[in-house]
Amino acid sequence: MAHLELPPHVDLPADLPVSEPSGSVFANRSFVLLWVAQVLSQLASNMVLAGLMATVVLATRSNTANAVLILTFLVPAVAFSAIAGVLVERSDARLIMLASNLLRAGGIVLFLLVGSNVGLIFLINLLVATVTAFFVPAELTAIPRLVDRRQLMAANSTFVLTINATFAIGFGFLGPLLLTTLGVDAVFIVVAVMFGLAALAIVPLPSVPPEKHAEIGVKETRQAFTVVFDQLKEGIAFVRSHRPIAWSLAYLGIAASLIAVMGAIGPGFATDILLLRPQDFFFVMGPAGMGAVLGILFLNAYGANLPRRLLIDCGLVAMGLTLIALALVKPITVFLSPALQPIENNLPAALSPLLSLIALVVVIAITAGVEYAFVAIPAQTALQEDLPVEVRGRIFGILNTLLSVASFLPVLVAPAAADLVNLLVKGAGIPVVMAILGLVTLVLGILSWRHNRAGGLHRTNLAGPEPP
């Protein structure tokens, strides 16, 4: 879900300045201000997700309602990408970013007024997410205009790392921490202030003038939507004709869908399995985010010389086993508790919590985060390397949209299935769904392992001919 602010496709301007770089990209004051605005807005977006999830689950006790909430974050990024691209092309990107942050700050304040009215929460969040759909392409357009061409790679890498880090920190730690200590209203107040500060960071930036000066009319908007559908068809055709890219996209889709589903059923896991409050789902998502950061750091340090398909297959197989372990964690601890009780009674008071169910879940969740990084990061790297330079920006934007659309179905189906199982056997929905997800992931990992080993891809990053 690091991907709640999904970047729609925007063609970056070709007339980038070419001058000698002056040290680190952080020596560029305009980049620092833009990056600060990104950090604040990304943290705010992920923190408010934690607050809204807890509110919706407390009000409805429904995993399905939580899934619908997540879709209100995701759908606008896809549905409004076309008109957002048209507006950014014809407007000052700095003004769009400034207005977007101010509007989002105002939208968050509205959550303080509606309480636990789930319908109004969905509506307000749709509006806030729609504004975000306009902020992201404006930000993407501003980067190459504010950063030297030779530092563009460093700038983009910084922004990608920030997206992952702010998800782990905002959704997995800060949001739940504020929830449990100060309550949901405190989350909304802090988030509104953060969006306001992000707007202040945008104010000193230089103007990012429009690339086109024609007015936006019905014709232009209709053409934009037509272009989006044409690009989606182009992206599907491109993937079908480039097998290595199709594999990388499939791996990314699996990883993104699993994370999205875990976010949707996380509060239910906290209540049904850990017997905690819905807002305490950070015992799962927080350690998972920490594990993802640890996995990224490990790959940055040691992953360059390791075959990517081997890393991905290890991550998939391990992730399947981890999901099964999460599904079985409660019955196993209940079964073993008579044997562990004497040990726990003889331990010092400071150490006895280490044998608790929560401690076991935290360890498993950290492992899951590392496994996610082992799948997503090599797949993303392979995708970037395999895409031809002349179409990389255009096709990569299209593929991001395809990934977003593909994640909609599992986000809805998994929580709905958990609710249906709960009607038959109370409390069994989350374990059953997680066990099924684990088995499916494990089978896919084993099949992928056999395919890649047969193709020699566990020994090299160079893709040979696909086996029949």
Q: Which of 74-88, 111-125, 190-204, 406-420 has the lowest mean pLDDT?
A: 74-88
Q: What is the mean pLDDT of residues 369-375?
A: 88
Selection from 74-78, 423-427, 438-442 with the highest mean pLDDT? 438-442
- The tokens of 265 are what? 């059923």
Q: What is the mean pLDDT of residues 344-353?
A: 49
Q: What is the mean pLDDT of residues 65-79?
A: 82
- The tokens of 184 are what? 């949901």
| Euclidean distance between CA atoms 56 and 160, whole angstroms | 30
Q: Which of 147-156, 195-204, 318-327, 360-369 has the lowest mean pLDDT?
A: 147-156
Q: Which amino acid is at 91?
A: S
pLDDT of residue 395: 58
Q: Output 209 or 7, whichever has higher pLDDT.
A: 209
* 344 phi, psi to nearest 5 deg: -65, -40
Q: What is the mean pLDDT of residues 381-405?
A: 63
Residue ranges, comma separated, of all CATH 1.20.1250.20 domains in the chain are: 1-216, 231-468
User: DSSP assignment of 95-138, as one string?
Assistant: HHHHHHHHHHHHHHHHHHHHTT-HHHHHHHHHHHHHHHHHHHHH
pLDDT at 85 over 70: no
pLDDT of residue 337: 59
User: DSSP assignment of 394-454, as one string?
Assistant: HHHHHHHHHHHHHHHHHHHHHHHHHHHHHHHSTT-HHHHHHHHHHHHHHHHHHHHHHHHHH
pLDDT at 315 over 90: yes
pLDDT at 210 over 70: no
CATH of 231-468, one of 3.30.420.40, 3.20.20.150, 3.30.465.10, 1.20.1250.20: 1.20.1250.20
Helix or strand or coil: residue 39?
Answer: helix
Closest to 397 in 3D by CA, of 223, 232, 151, 166: 232
How large is the angle between the packed helices 93-114 and 29-60, nearest 10 degrees?
30
Q: How many CA atoms lie within 13 A of 76 on its CB side?
A: 22
pLDDT of residue 312: 92
Per-residue pLDDT band at 20 (split at 50, 70, 90): very low
Per-residue pLDDT band at 411 (split at 50, 70, 90): confident
pLDDT of residue 438: 93
Q: Output 294 or 462, whichever has higher pLDDT.
A: 294
- Stated as kind and residue range, the H or E segment containing 256 is helix 243-272
Q: Output 382 or 399, whichever has higher pLDDT.
A: 382
pLDDT at 37 over 80: yes
Q: Residue 105: is it exposed, middle or buried by C-beta count within 10 angstroms (0-12/13-18/19+)?
A: buried
pLDDT of residue 175: 83
| Euclidean distance between CA atoms 240 and 363, whole angstroms | 39
pLDDT of residue 8: 35
pLDDT of residue 248: 81
pLDDT of residue 468: 37
Q: What is the CATH superfamily name and number for domain 1-216?
A: MFS general substrate transporter like domains (1.20.1250.20)
pLDDT of residue 157: 64
Selection from 148-152, 175-179, 220-224, 317-321 with the highest mean pLDDT? 317-321
- Stated as kind and residue range, the H or E segment containing 49 is helix 29-60
- The tokens of 53 are what? 């999830």
Q: Output 463 or 319, whichever has higher pLDDT.
A: 319
Q: Output 193 or 221, whichever has higher pLDDT.
A: 193
Residue 130 and residue 9 in contact, taking contact as beta carbons nearer than 8 Å? no
Q: Residue 215: is it exposed, middle or buried by C-beta count within 10 angstroms (0-12/13-18/19+)?
A: exposed
Per-residue pLDDT band at 231 (split at 50, 70, 90): low
Provide CB contacts within 8 A for 208, sequence distance 6+: 92, 93, 94, 138, 141, 142, 145, 146
Q: Where are the alpha helices (DSSP H) in 273-356?
A: 282-302, 308-346
pLDDT of residue 123: 94
Per-residue pLDDT band at 3 (split at 50, 70, 90): very low
pLDDT at 458 over 60: yes
pLDDT at 201 over 90: yes
Percentage of the chain exceeding pLDDT 90: 19
- Mean pLDDT, all residues of the chain: 77
Provide CB contacts within 8 A for 219, sequence distance 6+: none
pLDDT at 224 over 90: no
The vertex-277 CA angle with 105 and 404, nearest 5°, equals 50
> What's the pLDDT tens digit per position in 289-303?
788 878 888 887 887
pLDDT at 192 over 50: yes
Q: What is the mean pLDDT of residues 325-332?
A: 81
Residue 286 and residue 173 in contact, taking contact as beta carbons nearer than 8 Å? yes
